[in-house]
Amino acid sequence: MNGILNKLRLEPPFYSASTGQQNWMGSGNVLKIQSPVDGNPLGEINLIGEEEYKSVMAEAKKAFPLWKALPAPQRGEIVRQFGDALRAEKEALGKLVSYEMGKSLQEGLGEVQEMIDICDFAVGLSRQLYGLQMHSERPKHRMFEQWHPLGVVGIISAFNFPVAVWAWNASIAWVCGNVCIWKPSEKTPFSALACQEIFKKVLNQNKLPEGISNLIIGDGTIGKKMAADRDISLISATGSTQMGKSVAETVGKRLGKSILELGGNNAVIVTREADLKQAVPAIVFGAVGTAGQRCTSTRRLIVHETQFEELLEKLVSAYGQLQIGDPLDEMNHMGPLIDKTAVTEYEKTIRTAIEQGGRILYGGKVLEGDTYASGCYVLPTIIEATVNMPIVAHETFAPIVYIMPYKNLEEAIDIQNSVPQGLSSAIFTLNLRDAETFLSHTGSDCGIANVNIGTSGAEIGGAFGGEKETGGGRESGSDAWKAYMRRQTCTLNYSTVLPLAQGIKFYL
């Protein structure tokens, strides 16, 4: 991996704990990072301290007036250059993401492609920050709305997508005129350092302050500090529901803004009329892609009783063909979990499911041997379950999927909607009425609803996010940009008199 780090100019003097010259370095405890792929060290870095945090915030606040004063298309041009820089580094950065996080190389490269795509989207958006014009009830008055940047945007991202979710937020925030402070997961700091270095080079080439994009490596304490900081206008946080509730409470107390993308417990409904040739690969990728560590991973299969046995047979056969190992080997379908703590949670969840009446149909084991020496590799697992098992309503970040039968579509939708989370959902059916019912107001209660595609793999053109304990926020495409700006309603009087609204008369 040193070759990858060197290509990204992350040679040891850059990321060693003995240096602290960059504004994302700290004076706190040393963080040592090992790859879940083989257990080998990636490097070490100091966590940020109180004084470094103050310094980063000062740099961000200093950069904001200059950045927001640039016309939005000029800000878009900087983001365009960043996208081109990512294109040049796609292979190296994709490998780093794969090795540091453990996802397959194809998924690592795909994550970098997501960054490139959102940069392209943001460039176009920089010329489309539209406001409405409304008709005033008063003669010779013009009423309209316009949008202004918020200021400093804080981004807290999770380990499972070490770079893409940051880019979703940062690219949009930048073209809207904001500056950003990014706290990546302390489990995957080097992918974040690489991105920061790439964007810093773009800023330097354009003689712009580095404070437009800031990186801080810290633990949950720093995340709490960001949430409480009144100088951060918006916090966009990705992570567990527990973490999101804490952020929402803290930000809400100071009447700040937040975007929350939290837990998912995503279901696929397979109807009597489903095409299993479509459904099986979508289910398998949704359940085992990123080793089940996506917020959109498929965790529940709700299968019509007439399809249950055939689908189960096909799934067990497909699982038996999966190759598990080094994610940098393109022949492998699944890599490791992020760390041994995740493995422990995997084992605990399986034990709990069995205690509650579940039956393992495939998997359920931690893999051993030289290939799996890091101790982070597990077998993807299928568990036959019932809807009243409490564990089914719990999200476990691991390749575990629960399968259960249903009799009619109304029952299936009720089962799908019965969990606290509401991120992604899917139905496989060739029945138009079932598809439309699933998409109607009596259907899926999730932020994402798909027909004949799986729960995982959202495109950047659509707003991404969910309901209920998923947080209710939206990132990426559509009109999600509005969350990164403040709306201002303006009325301009070009008459010679002063008429009041609602016909009110006021005489002096």
CB-CB contact of 168 with 145 (8 Å)? no
Q: To which residue do tokens 């700091």 refer? A: 189
Helix and strand element counts for the chain (H, E): 15, 21
Instruction: Return the sign of the alpha-carbon dihedral for residues 93, 97, 98, 104.
Output: negative
* Catalytic-role residue among 261, 395, 469, 475: 261
Distance CA 215, CA 14 (A): 14
Distance of CA 258 to the CA centre of its chain: 14
Rg (CA), the chain: 24
Nearest to 218 by CA among 33, 488, 26: 26
Q: Helix, strand, or coil here: 147?
A: strand
Amino acid at 1: M
Catalytic (active site) residue 197? no
CA distance 462 to 435: 20
Main-chain dihedrals φ then ψ at residue 338, nearest 5 degrees: -65, -35
Percent helix, strand, coil in the chain, to 5, is: 40, 20, 40
CA distances from 309 to 313, 382, 406 (A): 6, 13, 12
Distance CA 92, CA 113 (A): 12
Distance set, CA 341 to CA 40, 239, 350, 416, 447 (Å): 17, 16, 15, 28, 30
Pairing of the two strands 298-304 and 359-362: unpaired
Provide the b/e sequence for 69-90 (b: ≥16 CB within 10 Å): eeebeebbbbbbbbbebbeebb
Strand partners of residue 172:
none
The neighbouring-strand residues paired with 41 are 34
What is the three-class DSSP state of 327? coil
Q: Which helix (H) or strand (E) holds 389?
A: none
List the catalytic residues: 261
